[in-house]
């Protein structure tokens, strides 16, 4: 695992970066700061701070400031496999489908077997991440209270009565730093801070202790036959107006309490000014990579804030964040795990176009590390080659189920959604996106292509075993993601629009990867044939222009907007698709009913991709009605009656920067479009946003007119740009000469580029 992670990290560091040396739009970034007069509601007011691994929620309880601490690698990874039914198989599923006595369609049990739940997922809160503990700062939330989160510097200032406190998590150290700033240092206005455990009835009682320089809480997490368990400590050291806390796990030290205490002690007595300078420099470098300045305060601040939140919970080399940023409860909803039918992927979507690809490394490593298990699942469940990634993953799953001591390979399969066929490709798609946005041959060869190749092999095998319907196959059986479940005779388990589109996307990606690397010619031929056999998208029996989620199903109110997924996230219906196809999906999008729970970001991007007249207003309304006081976005529109909103701060909503970007810049199919869905009456500009092909694009728009477009080619290669003008000019380099450039069909400009070359485009003069 360490070797795999290191290879991914090296690829990231050597891929080349042309980030600017300064923040592009500091005023816009400062406008995105969060200011509040209350911290009293953890769900609406809790401030998120983090360094990508260690992160906290800061809120008030009475007059105290509460700092609730989590760390990405702190998991209770036990799995009670003896509770789980036998591993389901496709062969048994095909036997059960026609049987009228198959009444409990939640489970696919072997013939003659009996099983009574609950399974491991429903019997326990674990596997799940666990909170590390709480720091309580006495009297630091006394009224009158004003709190300001400076996202540019990742620091929270709390003005409480006459006192001023600063809370910060240094970018490069696993520390929580609390300072009292309202008096000169020589007056020693002390921070009154204590460390407290987070107790739960399904783990051992925490231990508390201390020495002359620090106090701590130590928590033991039990193991199982295949996972050794873990131990971690949250330690606190005080020195007058300064408090420093640290978290150390048994993956980092064999003596967690002593190591955490020593780290906290050295930090609290160390050079605070140097640490702060290093911290601010790291965040300045982060924000220098790209920026936007747009004439809409809601969209602008959502873009900056959600990139900030993502950076708080992710960075290279750490365990991937789960469903929530920080943990408000000792037992997070849905196990706080990795849901691959959209949640975990959406968490990282903002990073690619924002030129922050390195933040997605934990996801890349999660999936790449899962591939041996995915190959076992393909054989065990489906008797097919390649790899199959299911709907629910956990941290610390052993790569080789064949060596597991727990029954069933220590594998949990979430019914019924674990059988959605498109989820397999969806799980590896972000690795391919990472390569497309930041092309690097080593990353392609070692990480992206092996995963995409193995899923494409599985898909080709699956297609080969499907029944034929004339020249095409019936892509079945599968389950529409979070709709219908298993139905009698698989009546609504065929030709899912999401499956069809994702199969097509993965086949095309695998073919491209093999071609670039010059390998697997025999596989390429097979993938092409399987792609040719895929069915058309299902449509309503009453309206041939209305795409539905599965064959034979009527339109419904969707949780995940399956009918529009071919547009996004599957990226196979694009602006270059035939007009009839575009019209069909635009019509589908215009009438689609959505319950608001999941994936408004998918719908917003689909609108931007299709250029619907309501793309801007629809997105702005959705974001405005979800925005909490602390800057996070709720799961559904804010409504006291909607209980899911109160489960925590959903990391999937950190993907909200993507649809904002899509209004001003898109790149699908290696084609760049500037301001494709931005309202012409509003000003907007952006700098060094990243596109497929590894291009960094900067542009502005005012009074409906696109100004000069600057494009940096990080790795060279062909550039395809849809011209925003009828006639265009181009120059190479700042000192080059302007010359007319041909604008072809669909207003396409095509030219070759060299690595590190800068090109400029503008409207041709009369």
CATH code of 163's domain:
2.70.98.50
Task: Quote the strand ranges of 536-619, DSSP E.
Answer: 539-540, 543-547, 557-558, 593-594
pLDDT for the residue 707:
97
Residue 704 has pLDDT above 90, yes or no: yes
Verify that 649 and 672 share a domain, yes or no: no
Q: Is residue 100 part of a domain?
A: no
* Domain count for the chain: 3
CATH number for 721: 2.60.40.1180
Q: How far apart are CA 219 and CA 51, in angstroms?
A: 22
The 10s digit of each residue's pLDDT in 96-128 is 999 988 988 888 999 988 888 899 999 999 999
Cα–Cα distance for residue pair 454/443, rounded to 1 Å: 16
Q: Is residue 15 part of a domain?
A: no
Domain range for 754 is 666-763
Domain's final residue, options 628, 663, 698 = 663
The whole-angstrom separation of Cα 323 and Cα 316 is: 18
pLDDT at 743: 94
Regarding whether 376 and 238 lie in a shared domain, the answer is no
Q: Do 476 and 528 fall into the same domain?
A: yes
Residue 189's pLDDT band (boundaries 50, 70, 90)? confident
d(CA 468, CA 76): 46
Q: For residues 281-306, give the mean pLDDT.
A: 98
Average pLDDT over residues 172-179: 96
Q: Which residues contact 649 (CB under 8 A, 6 or more apart)?
A: 43, 46, 48, 57, 309, 324, 325, 326, 328, 632
What would the mean pLDDT of 384-410 be, rounded to a whole number? 95
Please determine, for residue 67, whether its predicted confidence score (pLDDT) is greater than 70. Answer: yes
Q: Are residues 330 and 341 in the same domain?
A: yes
State pLDDT tens for residues 140-150. 999 999 999 99
Q: Do 758 and 652 share a structural domain?
A: no
Phi/psi for 673 (5° steps) reads: -130, 130
d(CA 46, CA 55) in angstroms, rounded, equals 12
Same domain, 406 and 354: yes
Please report whether residue 108 resides in a domain: no
Q: Are residues 417 and 331 in the same domain?
A: yes
Share of the chain above pLDDT 90, in %: 91
Residue 267 and residue 307 in one domain = no
746 and 657 together in one domain: no
Mean pLDDT of all residues belonging to the chain: 94
- Whether 115 maps to a domain, the answer reads no
Is residue 344 in some structural domain? yes
| pLDDT at residue 184, rounded to an integer | 61
Let me know if residue 85 belongs to a domain: no
| C-beta of residue 285 within 8 angstroms of C-beta of residue 19 | yes
Listed residues 663, 691, 712: the one ending a domain = 663
pLDDT in tens, 227-275: 999 999 999 999 999 999 999 999 999 999 999 999 999 999 999 999 9
**pLDDT tens, position by position, 685-701:** 999 999 999 999 999 99
Shared domain for 498 and 609, answered yes or no, is yes
Position 13 pLDDT exceeds 70: no
Q: What is the mean pLDDT of residues 735-746?
A: 94
Q: Are residue 455 and residue 547 in the same domain, yes or no?
A: yes
Specify whether 262 is located in the same domain as 312: no
């Amino acid at each position: 695992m360490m070797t795999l992670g290191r290879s991914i990290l090296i690829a990231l560091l050597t891929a080349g970066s042309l980030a600017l040396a300064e923040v592009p739009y500091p005023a816009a970034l400062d406008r995105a700061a969060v200011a509040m007069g209350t911290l009293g509601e953890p769900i609406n007011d809790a401030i998120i701070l983090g360094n990508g691994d260690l992160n906290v929620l800061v809120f008030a309880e009475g007059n105290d400031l509460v700092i609730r601490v989590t760390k990405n690698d702190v998991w209770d990874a036990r799995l009670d496999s003896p509770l789980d039914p036998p591993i389901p198989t496709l062969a048994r599923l095909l036997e059960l489908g026609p049987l009228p006595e198959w009444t409990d369609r939640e489970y696919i049990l072997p013939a003659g077997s009996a099983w009574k739940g609950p399974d491991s997922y429903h019997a326990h809160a674990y596997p799940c991440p666990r909170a590390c503990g709480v720091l309580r700062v006495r009297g630091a939330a006394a009224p009158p209270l004003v709190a300001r989160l400076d996202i540019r510097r990742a620091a929270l200032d709390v003005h409480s009565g006459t006192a001023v406190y600063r809370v910060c998590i240094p970018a490069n150290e696993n520390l929580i730093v609390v300072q009292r700033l309202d008096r000169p240092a020589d007056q020693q206005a002390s921070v009154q801070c204590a460390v407290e455990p987070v107790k739960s009835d399904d783990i051992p009682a925490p231990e508390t202790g201390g020495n002359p320089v620090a106090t701590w809480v130590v928590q033991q997490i039990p193991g199982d036959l295949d996972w050794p368990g873990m131990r971690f400590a949250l330690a606190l050291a005080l020195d007058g107006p300064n408090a420093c806390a640290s978290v150390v796990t048994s993956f980092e030290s064999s003596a967690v309490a002593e190591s955490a205490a020593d780290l906290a002690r050295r930090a609290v007595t160390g050079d605070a000014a140097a640490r702060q300078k290093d911290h601010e420099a790291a965040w300045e470098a982060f924000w220098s990579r790209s920026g936007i300045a747009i004439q809409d305060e809601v969209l602008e601040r959502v873009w900056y804030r959600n990139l900030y939140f993502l950076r708080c919970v992710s960075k290279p080399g750490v365990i991937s964040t789960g469903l929530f940023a920080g943990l408000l409860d000792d037992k997070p909803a849905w196990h706080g795990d990795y849901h691959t039918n959209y949640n975990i992927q959406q968490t990282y979507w903002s990073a690619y176009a924002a030129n922050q690809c390195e933040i997605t490394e934990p996801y890349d490593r999660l999936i790449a590390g899962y591939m041996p298990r995915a190959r076992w699942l393909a054989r065990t469940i489906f008797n097919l080659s390649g790899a199959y990634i299911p709907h629910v993953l956990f941290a610390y799953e052993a790569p080789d189920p064949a060596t597991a001591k727990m029954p069933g390979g220590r594998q949990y399969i979430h019914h019924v959604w674990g059988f959605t066929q498109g989820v397999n490709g969806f799980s590896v798609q972000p690795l391919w996106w990472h390569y497309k946005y930041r092309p690097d041959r080593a990353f392609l060869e070692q990480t992206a292509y092996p995963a995409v190749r193995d899923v494409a092999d599985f898909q080709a095998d699956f297609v080969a075993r499907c029944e034929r319907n004339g020249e095409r196959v019936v892509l079945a059986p599968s389950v529409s993601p979070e709709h219908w479940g298993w139905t009698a005779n698989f009546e609504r388990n065929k030709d899912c629009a999401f499956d069809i589109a994702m199969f097509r996307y993965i086949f095309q990606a695998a073919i491209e990867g093999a071609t670039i690397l010059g390998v697997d010619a025999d596989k390429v031929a097979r993938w092409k044939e399987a792609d040719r056999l895929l069915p058309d998208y299902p449509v309503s029996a009453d309206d041939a222009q209305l795409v539905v989620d599965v064959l034979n199903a009527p339109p419904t109110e969707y949780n995940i907007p399956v009918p529009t997924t071919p547009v996004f996230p599957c990226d196979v219906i694009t602006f270059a698709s035939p007009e009839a196809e575009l019209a069909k999906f635009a019509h589908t999008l215009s009438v689609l009913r959505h319950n608001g729970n999941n994936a408004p970001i998918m719908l917003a991007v689909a609108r931007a991709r299709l250029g619907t007249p309501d793309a801007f207003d629809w997105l702005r309304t959705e974001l405005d009605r979800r925005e909490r006081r602390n800057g996070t976005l709720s799961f559904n529109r804010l409504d006291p009656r909607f209980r899911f909103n109160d489960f925590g701060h959903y990391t999937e909503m950190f993907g909200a920067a993507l649809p904002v970007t899509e209004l001003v810049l898109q790149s699908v199919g290696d084609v760049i479009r500037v301001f494709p869905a931005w309202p012409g009456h509003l000003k907007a500009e952006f700098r060094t946003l990243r596109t497929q092909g590894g291009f960094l694009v900067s542009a502005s728009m005012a009074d409906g007119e696109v100004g000069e477009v600057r494009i940096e080619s990080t790795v060279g290669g062909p550039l395809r740009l849809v011209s925003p003008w009828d006639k265009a000019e181009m120059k190479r380099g700042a000192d080059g000469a302007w010359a007319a450039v041909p604008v072809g069909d669909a207003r396409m400009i095509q030219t070759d580029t060299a690595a590190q070359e800068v090109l400029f485009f503008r409207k041709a003069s009369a």
